[in-house]
Every structure is written in structure tokens, then in C-alpha cells.
Chain A
């Protein structure tokens, strides 16, 4: 029974990853992150992704605050935030978010406020979607770890 649960969890995880790669939400850089995780740093991917979430939410708040300001004209500052967002998204393999940032930056370089607002809404949507999916992935991985611990209790002696 426990073996079947572990197999099911592994299948769920693989299905979710396949979906995320197939839809272009993640790219191979995410695999690079997974390869950096080992026994000496077993939570590396979730730790880095949590840093990404924390930093991204600050950036999204800053971008929204800039665009909601009636007097807004500092597109240079917006560009700096977007470069940050693009850089960290590329680094964790958040491909679709990175692409939205590229389009957002193009609108910003044209001082196109309406275009920037549209891009921001799309960016917020993509970010929420990615965050939910990655939380789901980490939950499955956590359940796999717990299932492995229950299945092989003798290993802890």
C-alpha cells in the first residue's frame, strides 16, 4: 500500500513537471537547479524558489505602486525593477514570466503606460499561477519524503 502511494506521488510529480515544461512555464534552468540539490543541501530548490517568491512580490508591489501613481513618469526605475525580475526569473527557469517581463520592458522603453499596465496584470497572473504550481510540486515532494520515511523506518536507527 505504501509502495503504491509512493509510486502515485512520483507519477503526480512527473505529470506536474511535464505539464510545466510542456506549457513553457518552466525551462531547463529549473532542471539545473534540481541538479544542484543533494544530501548536503536537500531543500536547495525550495529555498531558492522561496527567495524568488519573496523578492518577486516586492518587485510586483513596486511596479504596481509606480504605475498607480498619477504623476508617474520614471520609466527608468521601472526598467530597473524589470531587469531584476527578468534576471531572477531566468535564474530559476521561470520562462513564461521572463517572457512577459521582456514585453513589459518593451512597453516601458516606449513610455507606453497603458501597455505597461496590461503587462503588469499579465505578469501578476503568471506569477500567481507559477507560485501555486510550485507550491503544489513542493507539497508532493514533501509527501514523497514522508512516505519514504514511513516505508523504511529502519533507516532512521
Chain B
């Protein structure tokens, strides 16, 4: 699994997260989950936007990456981010339960994978991996 994220260049000591999900309901819920844990978050609607936001110079402690997204899916986006040298914690989240699909997602460079729906306890277990 990949190493921890970079925290430089930000004035706040708050953890930051990027939610990459094409589903508005999930973006709202994931934002709220993160907010309750004191984590600042931004959201994008597909894998290409997730890559582009990193190209613009932003980085995050945590990326919650959906698998199925238009334009660029979570597997491609994860692979691309790792190729770019992004070492942030990337947690894949998906409704998929087929083993080979999940394996392909993990092998793209995930640090963790959680089946949707994302709950507070699942998110806390992801956060512990960052701090651990």
C-alpha cells in the first residue's frame, strides 16, 4: 500500500480530504461525515477532476475515491494519481462486491477499500490508518 500524504503548504492544521464521487447524495453524506470529524473537504464529480485538482497544486491527506464515475473512473484516477507521485491516503469506496473488480481497484494503488454506504465507523477506521 502507498505511503502517507504530504501536509505542506497549508496554513490550517486541519486534516483535508477530497471526495471523488459522481453521486450528489454520496457527496453530501461524505462531506457531512468528514465535517463531523473536523476534516475540511472538497468534492469533485469524476476521476479526471480528481486528477486535475492535484495538477492545480492542491493536495489532501485523504481521498475518498468512488469506483464508478464518468469520464475517468476511480481505478484510472487512482493509477494516474500514483503515477503523478501522489502519496495521499486513497480509500476506494464502492457498491461493487465482485472480488476481481475490487482487486483491480486495490491494485491501482488504494490504501484501503470500503463498501458503500460509508458510515462513521468505516470512515474512522480509514482515518486511523492515516494516523497509524
Q: Which residues of A contact B (CB under 8 A)?
A: 29, 32-33, 35-36, 41, 44, 47-48, 51-52, 55, 80, 83-84, 86-88, 90-93
The 4 A-B pairs with the shortest beta carbon distances in the complex, nearest first, are A88-B25, A91-B117, A36-B32, A90-B117
Given contacts A32-B119, A87-B68, 17 further A-B contacts (CB under 8 A): A29-B117, A29-B119, A36-B33, A36-B120, A48-B25, A48-B32, A55-B24, A80-B68, A80-B70, A83-B68, A83-B95, A87-B23, A87-B25, A88-B25, A88-B26, A91-B23, A91-B26
Complex Cα spacing A132 to B70, Å: 32
Size of the B side of the interface (Cβ < 8 Å), in residues, is 19
A14 to chain B, nearest CB (A): 23
Q: Do B36 and A36 touch (CB < 8 A)?
A: yes
Q: Do A36 and B29 touch (CB < 8 A)?
A: yes
Q: Do B120 and A35 touch (CB < 8 A)?
A: yes
Q: Do B116 and A48 touch (CB < 8 A)?
A: no
Task: Name B94's closest neighbour in chain A (CB-CB).
Answer: A87
Task: Name B68's closest neighbour in chain A (CB-CB).
Answer: A83
Name 14 A/B residue pairs within 8 A (Cβ), A-sorted.
A32-B120, A35-B120, A36-B120, A41-B35, A51-B28, A80-B68, A83-B68, A83-B95, A87-B26, A87-B95, A88-B26, A90-B117, A91-B23, A92-B25
Of the residues A44, A83, A87, contact of B32 by C-beta under 8 Å: A44
Q: Do A33 and B29 touch (CB < 8 A)?
A: yes
Q: Do B25 and A91 touch (CB < 8 A)?
A: yes
On whether A90 and B24 interact (CB within 8 A), knowing A32-B119, A41-B32, the answer reads no
Q: Do A32 and B117 touch (CB < 8 A)?
A: yes
A19 to chain B, nearest CB (A): 22
A123 to chain B, nearest CB (A): 16
Task: Give B59-101 as 1s and 0s: 1 = Cβ < 8 Å from A's Cβ atoms.
Answer: 0000000001010000000000000000000000001000000
**A44 cross-chain contacts in B, Cβ below 8 A:** 32
A155 to chain B, nearest CB (A): 25
Task: Name A31's closest neighbour in chain B (CB-CB).
Answer: B119
Q: Do A86 and B95 touch (CB < 8 A)?
A: yes
B33 to chain A, nearest CB (A): 7
Complex Cα spacing A47 to B32, Å: 12
B21 to chain A, nearest CB (A): 9
